Amino acid sequence: MNLIPAIDLIEGKCVRLTKGDYTQMKVYNQDPLEMALMFQDAGIKYLHLVDLDGAKAQHIVNWKVLEKISSKTKLIIDFGGGIKSDKDIEISFNSGAHKITAGSIAVKNKPKVIEWIARFSSEKIILGADVNNEQIAVSGWQEQTTINLFEFLEEYIQNGVKYCICTDIAKDGMLQGPSIDLYKKIVKKNASLHLIASGGISSVNDLEQLKEAGLYGAIIGKAIYEGKISLKEISMFNQ
């Protein structure tokens, strides 16, 4: 299982929210590059970089941070937040993203995302599925839909999606453990999908459970910043 640290960006700083609430923001580092270099020095290969300003503004905002990290590290970066247009996706790849995460746009403009999968390949486009009670939420989790998660996944799998980051909003930033049962259900129904867990991970035991459940990867955020999981433990888990 691939372990992927997360850096969430607001005003160019490394922050974490709780349940996606912008009023519950904590700044962990003024310089995201410093964090990225720490991850790289610990032997970590991947980075999940999220432009929270972009998610709110509906277009990329923090692309210069992406450019800086991609040019000064060897991390394989997946970038998301505010990618809504051909211009946004081109800026992302030109700024050094290896993959992009299509979140809200995958709900609001399916033809565009399906076009991107055909144009850039399923290796470059990760589906972002943010859920609350098995229903999709969009726009930085500010907007709840009535779209069923499993129907949403099925449609995209039929259109070539291979990778999906699934975040349970109720778990995000709570450090109370991930939605193991939900992930097991997704894996069981969609054997071909490379599923990446996000939200609630708080210990190495959580990681072991996700690995046992058949997850392709796990994104770790607040657990790193709050010292619940050390970079050394992540490095050892990856070996």
Catalytic residue among 8, 51, 168, 206: 8
- CA 8 vs. chain centroid, Å, equals 9
Strands 217-220, 2-10: pairing kind? parallel
Q: Please give, one letter per residue, the 3-state secondary structure of 183-204.
A: HHHHHHHCCCCEEEEECCCCCH
206 is an active site residue: no
How far apart (Å, rounded) are the C-alpha atoms in residues 126 and 104? 12
* 4: its two tokens: 């992927």
DSSP structure string for 32-61: HHHHHHHHHHTT--EEEEEEHHHHHHTS--
50 neighbors 8 (Cβ within 8 angstroms): yes
130 is annotated as an active-site residue: yes
What is the CB-side half-sphere exposure of residue 37 using CA atoms within 13 A?
A: 8
Among the listed residues 78, 88, 130, 206, the single catalytic one is 130
Please report, as a single letter, which amino acid is at residue 95.
S
Catalytic residue numbers, as ranges: 8, 130
